[in-house]
Amino acid sequence: MPEGLIVKALSGYYYVKPKDLAADLVQCRGRGIFKKKGVTPLVGDRVMYSPTENGEGTVDEILPRETELIRPPIANAKLAVLLFSLKEPDLNLQLLDKFLVHIEHAGLQALICLTKEDLLEEEMDERSSDITIETGKLYQAIGYDVIITSSVTGLGVEDVKSRLAGEISVFSGQSGVGKSSLLNAMLPGLTLETSEISMKLGRGRHTTRHVELIELENGGYVADTPGFSQLDFLELGVDELSSCFREFRELADMCKFRGCSHLHEPGCKVREALENGDIAASRYEHYVQFHEEMKEKKRRY
């Protein structure tokens, strides 16, 4: 029974790339037993399949997954590339921190990509340039890799591409930040649909409608996923939130009270680090906002 990788799922079909790189994609249906077990094959799944007489196939077995994302639905991704534009729309650090919480919870590595650097050059915007530098320093100090890019000038494009080698990566971020433009810049001839930015709303139309793996020549696969304008915390417990802030983890173990919420308890090492300037005020502020949001949702449900 041959092995392959699901690179696209659409209208009940799974498009499997055989392990033999020279072979064409095989259009497959999933076995009925998956439905009975409540299991759905996902893009990124490594599977065993049986070819059928009509040139199609049947997915028979899903091999063990290393990671699984619920939204976007994708398996075995190792790296999340989070794209946030420096202009049009303006950089939104609260949304970036929300994405980082979800990525930490999912167990993926994160690469922060600050896009559209060419728009800063056009406007000679010194204030935005300073914010860009400070943002890069802030997240690098926490332990994240940050790359500043422009799909127009080519800045950072090869740096991003080299990080994707040999892995399945997820491209995500607010709508209209240039995901498709960056992928087009990395793969000339790809011609993914891009969208104009609505200046009234400050966001683009959703141009990506299903999850599909795009193959790079360096052995990597990129999932170009639907854009998000918001995320919720339904899959995350409020007691798990602080562990999704990297700079809180070691400090939390030293708090006076076990299970410290880092909001009001005495002897809290996280708040002490905040007062000493060792934790960025914006990060703590977003932690408090997310904590309230999660408590509010818990009350409603």
Tokens of 257: 């009270």
223-281 residue pLDDT tens: 866 544 446 666 788 899 999 999 999 999 999 999 999 999 999 999 999 999 999 99
Superfamily of domain 238-300: Probable gtpase engc; domain 3 (1.10.40.50)
Instruction: Compute the average pLDDT of residues 72-91.
Output: 88
Instruction: Compute the average pLDDT of residues 30-54.
Output: 92
CATH topology of domain 3-63: OB fold (Dihydrolipoamide Acetyltransferase, E2P) (2.40.50)
Q: Is 268 annotated as a binding residue?
A: yes
98-143 residue pLDDT tens: 999 988 988 899 999 999 888 876 666 666 677 788 899 999 999 9
Q: Do domains 74-224 and 238-300 have the same CATH topology?
A: no
Strands 57-62 and 46-51: antiparallel
Q: Is 244 annotated as a binding residue?
A: no
Q: Is 117 annotated as a binding residue?
A: yes
Q: Where are the domains of the chain?
A: 3-63, 74-224, 238-300
Task: Provide CATH code, domain 74-224.
Answer: 3.40.50.300
Pick from 173, 183, 178: nearest CA to 221:
183
Q: Is 262 annotated as a binding residue?
A: yes
Q: Please check whether residue 177 is in contact with residue 89, taking contact to mean a CB–CB distance below 8 angstroms.
A: yes
Instruction: Compute the average pLDDT of residues 179-203.
Output: 60
Whether the predicted pLDDT of 70 surpasses 90: no
Mean pLDDT rounded to a whole number for the chain: 85
Q: Is 116 annotated as a binding residue?
A: yes
Instruction: Compute the average pLDDT of residues 275-290.
Output: 96
In this predicted structure, what is the pLDDT of residue 167? 92
